[in-house]
Structure 1
């Protein structure tokens, strides 16, 4: 209860402060963001790059065979992948899917000239990079450590502080543990608020285009409340009846939308430029990963790559918690490969189609996406792009439906993560009480509403999320260290060909652990 009261007090006081002093907030946020992304640029880039090497090496090693908990997997492979992809992606992904390339065209990396042919060539490639291997590897580092802590070591508690206690001995109920959980909750609220506000503004703009309804605060409130009712019902029903069904609806909806745009749009161009962009990204992966721009101003690295990695780091603890909940019975290798391959392929497929459709419209002077984005807003650009498709109004309606379900599913995942953090000593197979989940559903709705009502600057809240992500960089390093330590203690002496046999007999592992200890 104290953690709940403190976190909510800080959140609502912050929103009130942002509303009362918007100019000072924006100026201060810009300075803090500049400082954080400059000082921590090299460590963040190195961490993201090494995360890819670490999790791939772990998956291919003998430790990849270790099963995370006893029994058969709780969910089918497709449902499992759908659920944790949705926990790691917000509904705003549909917004960025059409527009991400335009930002890189206007402000390209690798010191390419802005709005040049080279910048256009690398625009989709950079989008693939920022949503690809390194991003999902960051998630995997935290997820595998949490899975091992909970399913193999049988430590109680799904909160972030619980796994840190198991590694360092710092009590989860002590000052350090409470601070870690507090930062986690603040980061979850901030990140979800940004995703929800962006989705609500996009939704209301498209709805106004379709129906003529006014794009006002009242409309946005109705949208948020309607989505909140959906995700509250899902949360109350539970993981199997709620989240699982929402995840299937979203993923099949996104797939259907993407396939339609692929077939109804410039299919040949989408195919060829998606492959070309993947090739550019893969052949320039090391350069993109470690581009610090020491002879330039480093602006692109600070404002894009470092920002994105900190953004993914901020979500990593929550994704780890959710992946742990749905991954009992899976092996370490399955978790890593599903996150890397499932996450990357899923995002690249959707982004490849949507972005290249958008890019083709720009190249053929149908919709000046960068111009509309800069002067009239991304929501209008998306509306114009969807309207160019055959049966564009119907497609726009379906897009709104998918976006709403996507947001509800993501809010459900975040609500579960927050309520699990506030539930002490949660054991394997247990979920937070329905009343607790309902309480956090309401809170997760009120904060974005307060954000929209107060007209607090969105960039300032974004800065707050990034600042709170920096401590999580240390937390992820601790989790990686703890995971390696546990693996050596429990399985270091076991030959690779015997791990599956030993893993099938939990008593043997427990006996070995006691002997080593």
Structure 2
């Protein structure tokens, strides 16, 4: 019952102390903070860079291998799936989109054009073609494979093994034996909480800066700290109220509507813009991405400085890794009754397809405006800034002002729904004895809503550079490398114990029976597999 829950005061107090010291340090020593951030970013990505790149590539191999093997037929829980295929896949596409994504979808190619990977000459024709290919790479197979392997581990833990605890500490307890409420579990909760803040800093700051610049161009308001802070405070207050009064279902519907409108926005840009050029550019980019995938995955630049890999590939893989706990829980909740193969295909094909369409449409339009000398986005990065380039690109569209308003409104809705969801997750993490079906207290959710706005406000106050924002992600994400490796090891260990001795046709037969709702198979079949492979179908009954 709700009255049996308790606020985790130790976790809350520790978090407040660390966040407060960070905010005070940023505001009192802004210049020193930027220098320190650059140093920490270089040191962290140099130390862990190769490990992160190899881990990302290994996730691709593992996920595809599991999907194609006999283990792909394992069904994650009994009964028919709750959602239709189209709705289910659309949920995964939405999981890969967000407020900051809308900035990258217009501007990411410009960064790669000026500082390309694979030792390509900067600002060359090849760099321009590879710029969108690298964008597809960083929002393509590897990040969705990272999501996929983490999600399969959580879903197997919860639906097949029937272990308790739909949480990061819960699955680590099931794998290692370290108690979720013990010292190790407490450390994992802290890591999760700080990583959540780290990822949110980049998302909130980048979104707010982009919207503030757009509003300034549309209305004439001064694009300064006050406007940016006002946007953060407004979004925080509105959706703190939403979280407090508990209209989460309405927020979820609004978020889904925003995802649908985002894909519609990409379609409108594709149709109103240079359609033939965009389609040709997208097809060419997919070809270059697939052709160079292995090289891009393992490009460490040992004879050079390795700057591109550290600044982008390693950063992105860590950025995606920080979101794996939340995505894994989400995928587990919506994928009961699905097979491992279905989850793999939906995440890889659905996730990649959605991101590639969105990025391909917006970036192709931006590239076309660049080659036709309408908007020189790369030049603006070192001058007026990427946010100004986004405003100019929107203004150059037919019905530019209207589409600008829609674009900035979508960014704010995405940010607000993200804040609402993160506040709920952090509140749940900092509540003891929270049972299935219970929610953390409204006052605790309100507290975290306000706290989540403090660190981004400090970053906006010091006018933090992109590298400073990236550092916030990198430092909080590094522990997740090892947590993800533990989850992968646990999943492989469970699969070996439960199904290694079971022939493929019996796994398929068990899956078919579970699809009809015969729940007895869920626990019996894995146990029998550990004791010895069943020889006949009757053993599964």
TM-score strictly above 0.5: yes
Please tell me whether residue 131 in structure 1 is matched to residue 139 in structure 2. Answer: yes
The DSSP-based 3-state class of the residue aligned with 2:382 is helix
Q: Note the residue ranges of structure 1 that are not aligned, 5 or more in a row.
A: none
Bigger shift: 29-38 or 179-188?
29-38
**Distance 1:456-1:402 versus aligned 2 partners, 3 A rule:** closer
Report the TM-score when normalising by structure 2.
0.89
- Specify the alignment match of 2:210 in structure 1: 202
Equivalent residues of 1:130, 1:305 under 8 A apart? yes
**Distance 1:255-1:237 versus aligned 2 partners, 3 A rule:** farther
Match of 1:119 among 106, 110, 127: 127
Equivalent residues of 1:92, 1:198 under 8 A apart? yes
Q: Tell me how large the CA RMSD over aligned residues is.
A: 2.4
For 1:485 and 1:239, locate their aligned partners in 2 and report how far apart those are by CA, in whole Å: 41
For 2:89 and 2:424, locate their aligned partners in 1 and report how far apart those are by CA, in whole Å: 17
- The Cα of 1:57 is off from its aligned counterpart by 1.5
- The Cα of 1:331 is off from its aligned counterpart by 2.8
Aligned ranges 1:368-383 → 2 under 5 Å: 368-383=376-391
For 1:330 and 1:235, locate their aligned partners in 2 and report how far apart those are by CA, in whole Å: 31
The DSSP-based 3-state class of the residue aligned with 1:92 is helix
- The Cα of 1:83 is off from its aligned counterpart by 3.9
The DSSP-based 3-state class of the residue aligned with 1:444 is helix
The DSSP-based 3-state class of the residue aligned with 2:99 is coil
- Specify the alignment match of 2:518 in structure 1: 505
- The Cα of 1:213 is off from its aligned counterpart by 2.2
Aligned ranges 1:431-450 → 2 under 5 Å: 431-450=439-458
Task: Tell me the alpha carbon deviations over residues 222-253 of structure 1, each in whole angstroms, 9 at most, x when there is no partner.
Answer: 32233334544654576972343123211221
- Specify the alignment match of 1:315 in structure 2: 323
Task: Tell me the alpha carbon deviations over residues 175-218 of structure 1, each in whole angstroms, 9 at most, x when there is no partner.
Answer: 22211111111011121121111111111110111112222333
Runs (4+) of structure 1 moved beyond 6 Å? Answer: 237-240
- The Cα of 1:435 is off from its aligned counterpart by 4.8
- Specify the alignment match of 2:343 in structure 1: 335
- Specify the alignment match of 2:69 in structure 1: 61
- Specify the alignment match of 1:228 in structure 2: 236
- Specify the alignment match of 1:213 in structure 2: 221
- The Cα of 1:456 is off from its aligned counterpart by 5.7
Match of 1:469 among 453, 466, 477: 477
Q: Note the residue ranges of structure 2 that are not aligned, 5 or more in a row.
A: 1-7, 532-541
- Specify the alignment match of 2:273 in structure 1: 265
Equivalent residues of 1:154, 1:428 under 8 A apart? no
- Specify the alignment match of 1:398 in structure 2: 406
The DSSP-based 3-state class of the residue aligned with 1:23 is helix
The DSSP-based 3-state class of the residue aligned with 1:375 is coil
Aligned ranges 1:97-116 → 2 under 5 Å: 97-116=105-124
The DSSP-based 3-state class of the residue aligned with 2:336 is coil
Please tell me whether residue 49 in structure 1 is matched to residue 61 in structure 2. Answer: no
For 1:232 and 1:56, locate their aligned partners in 2 and report how far apart those are by CA, in whole Å: 41
Equivalent residues of 2:208, 2:231 under 8 A apart? yes
Equivalent residues of 1:158, 1:421 under 8 A apart? no
Please tell me whether residue 150 in structure 1 is matched to residue 161 in structure 2. Answer: no
Task: Tell me the alpha carbon deviations over residues 113-144 of structure 1, each in whole angstroms, 9 at most, x when there is no partner.
Answer: 11111111211111101110001111111111
Please tell me whether residue 386 in structure 1 is matched to residue 394 in structure 2. Answer: yes
For 1:232 and 1:76, locate their aligned partners in 2 and report how far apart those are by CA, in whole Å: 32
For 1:81 and 1:6, locate their aligned partners in 2 and report how far apart those are by CA, in whole Å: 38
For 1:298 and 1:506, locate their aligned partners in 2 and report how far apart those are by CA, in whole Å: 52
Please tell me whether residue 17 in structure 1 is matched to residue 25 in structure 2. Answer: yes
- Specify the alignment match of 1:486 in structure 2: 494
For 1:210 and 1:490, locate their aligned partners in 2 and report how far apart those are by CA, in whole Å: 60
Bigger shift: 264-273 or 24-33?
24-33
> Which of the two has higher C-alpha Rg?
2
Aligned residues: 517
